[in-house]
Structure 1
Amino acid sequence: MSTHSTGRAAGSIVPWFGAVLVLQLAHAFAAASALDAPHSLQLVHDVAGWGSGVLAVAGTFAAARSFVPGDYLRKVWGGLAAGAFLSLVSTALRSYWLHAVPDVPFTQSPLLPLRMGVVVLANVCTTYALILLAMTYRQSGLQPPSSFRSNALWAGTAIAALAVGLPVLATEVRHLGADSAATMSAVISLASTLADMTTILLVAPILSVAYMLRGGRLAWVWWAMGVSGAMWLFYDARGWLAPLLPGDAAQSAELLRTLRTSGLVLLGLAGWLQRTALAPRQAPAAGPEVQTHAGMS
């Protein structure tokens, strides 16, 4: 791919990533404006959850439909689409309870067991799909060569996954068996944490392939997936990152919680870019000189 075409491709993709940034900033600004009003803050997260969830479902389903049944990547995007859809169902359950019974915490809702099952299944689908995605380079023969940079990236993501996940796992395991509500909440947290640890760990091979494919149309799919995983890293680390930030730790945690928007929207964007990358390119129209020459030959 020439430098000119590479620059043109990069220019065409910038508005999409810019739109993700705008959505992220909008969620963060709205959350910051509602930090002193707990119910309003819940509504902000609710609206953002619906918006980002719908975009994630739309993008991943679009990517899955781009492949024929039985195709390896159809399994990948089908799993991601299923995970995104189930995540949206989880959002719908919480949203319903928030609006129907706003004064009662969701942990006391009879919908909690249903949400537990939905969240566990969503994380299983997403983790399975991401493992398949990280193995795509082996299926296609595009195995990135081992280097100091790639090994350092692997080590860094492994350390990050352990640093983010182990404290949460240790805390939630102690909640198992306390009572039914605490146990179900712990199962939800454990499933989400284990899946997110896997996602963080898989950032290394995903970004390695993205770097190797730099300049290609598929590179942006991998970059979007990799950055999405990085957003989940900071989202999951909000428990210990928040006290390190200036200001109130609880409010900082709520602001870091808005990174869920970027994580989901980037997943949807990756799916849409996958679909776009498979679309046939239109041949450039012949100029007047070419047409005249062709007519005279």
Structure 2
Amino acid sequence: MRRSAASSSASPPSSPAPTSSAPAIPSRHRYDHHQKGFSEVFGHGFNTKLSSAGLVYKHFGKEIIAKELGVNEDHEDVHCLYLAIYKSFVEALDAIDNGINQYDTDQPPKYVNNTHLSSRVGRFNLDWTDPDQSLEKENAAFEQAMVLAGSEFMESVRFHVKSWLPARSIVLECLLSKGNIDPSGEIMVLDRFCPWKLHLFELEEELKTDPLTKYVLYQDERSKSWRVQAVAVAPDRFESRKALPEKWRGMRDDELSAETGIPGCVFVHMSGFIGGNKTYEGALEMARAALKF
């Protein structure tokens, strides 16, 4: 087990190596990516070279997802989750096992990260100071690594089935109906709160949405007031597509209501990325007014 069990051969180290030059032989459960000239990728827009983890997922991922969903493998939700789980979980294993950097940079990293799955799996390797370096002990460690990797993979599958997919459906429905909220088409209302940011970016790209959403309205579950959130320019950026007006920022309550001319205002953050109003109508008026700045 001198390689990462999360992304290396599906067979334990005591099994013989594949004799065929084919990288994947599903009928014999043989998956290997070490042959000279092997450059297979997952496809569907993903260009990272596959490791054994990706090879196994490419052949069996849909079957696992379909069983978790309780539908046939050709169901549209299976394909959607198949791509999402590869992107969020499996692709990193492929990249790490093939020595592909996450970023194109000639600068050293600003910190060390030994908490990712491949690092944690690697810690199951026998320590060089252990007097027992037997194949039996190595196989036992490999079994532990498989339990860890397998449990985290299934956690990812179940999260995507139970949380990610329902949230995506909600955001899609709200995105398609945003023209009914305001003629500009730049204001979206979440009728049920859910994690929406990444879904919004991905769905806007898939649907070629024009114009892009500038503000998202949703109800705060604790206070029951409404939030007006400016959409960021990208999922990993703090800059907003259109931040709330600078003259509103840092104001609260009556002062803010007087400045905006909109009753029920609660606050606008100093950065302008979010604000609040006591009512849906007030939040919508804030978003509409902000579009005019």
* TM superposition score category, shorter chain reference: under 0.3
Structure (1 or 2) with the greater strand fraction: 2
Structure (1 or 2) with the greater helix fraction: 1
TM-score, length-scaled by structure 2: 0.23
Computing the radius of gyration from Cα coordinates, the structure with the larger value is 2
TM-score, length-scaled by structure 1: 0.23
Specify which structure has the bigger relative contact order, considering alpha-carbon pairs within 8 angstroms and separated by 6 or more residues.
1
